[in-house]
Amino acid sequence: MKRHKLNFGNRTVSEQLAICRRVAEGAANVPEEHRHHFTPFNLAGRLADAEASHLEVERLKFALKAALSRRNETLGQARNSADANAGLLAILANGNAAAMLAAGLGVVRDKQPVGLPSAPGNLRVLPTDFEGRVPLRWQRSVRRCVFFVEATTDATARTGWKQVKSSTKQSCEVTGLASEKKHWFRVCAVNAHGTGPWSQPVSAWVK
């Protein structure tokens, strides 16, 4: 004997209501002597409630769409008026930053030359459960740069530095490290102006 299915999954609300409607019609067409079996489930009443709720949601969605359109229109008009008023206020302020700020205007900051990047800050080792790996994170000093990561097993952290990673992000994971040894790490930033100084080294015991 085959089993029934309704396929409510991944259906829209309207499609689910249509499925319930078909089942309700099927139940209404059973012989009179069997209809009492369907009474406790009250499909017709619950379907009516669901359809009424769906119509209310659709009405509210339509009203919300209209309200959003009106909001965006009036906001655009307010922005245009603010731009016009700001232009007049800036003329009256005659380029005086304090006067413009007092009038509620923002002031464009003078562009600062980027120059050589400074050393990355707050270099730290993150916890890990993997052997031969050390996750690192740091803070950048300039926006557009590439970071180079070096490592050494020198106990004084003065010699034996070798590049082990490069990254455009403020983090990386150094892999392939010798296990059961202490390693030191440092990071520098490089941009179009050159290579900046190295960060303070940090150490980690590699599993």
pTM of the predicted structure, to 2 decimals: 0.48
CA angle, 73 as apex, 67 and 79 as ends, to 5°?
130
How much is the pLDDT for 168? 93
Q: How many other C-beta atoms are found inside a 10 Å radius of the C-beta of residue 160?
A: 13
Main-chain phi, psi angles of 146, to 5 degrees = -120, 140
Q: How far apart are CA 200 and CA 138, in angstroms?
A: 11
In this predicted model, what pLDDT tens digit does every residue of 78-136 receive, in sequence order?
A: 999 999 999 999 899 998 889 889 989 998 887 766 788 999 999 999 988 888 899 99
Q: What integer pLDDT is reported at residue 111 of this predicted model?
A: 72
The fold adopted by the segment(s) 121-206 is Immunoglobulin-like (2.60.40)
pLDDT tens figures, 164-205: 999 999 999 999 998 889 999 999 999 989 999 999 999 999
Residue-by-residue DSSP string for 137-178: EEE-SSSS-EEEEEEE--TTSSS--EEEEEESSSEEEE-SPP
Name the one residue in this structure whose structure tokens are 């031969």.
132
List every span in the chain annotated with CATH 2.60.40.10. 121-206
Residues 159, 186 contacting (CB under 8 angstroms): no
Could you give the angle at the alpha carbon of 14 between the alpha carbons of 16 and 45, nearest 5°? 65
pLDDT at site 157: 80
**Using 50, 70 and 90 to split pLDDT, how confident is the model at 64?**
very high
CA distances from 77 to 64, 68, 69, 105 (A): 20, 14, 13, 18
Report pLDDT for 112: 67
Mean pLDDT of the chain, nearest integer: 91
Higher pLDDT, 174 or 156: 174
pLDDT at 156: 85
pLDDT band of residue 161 (cuts 50, 70, 90) is: very high
Predicted confidence at residue 38, as pLDDT, reads 87
User: pLDDT > 90: what percent of the chain?
Assistant: 61
pLDDT surpassing 80 at residue 144: yes
Q: Name the β-bridge partners of 190.
A: 146, 195
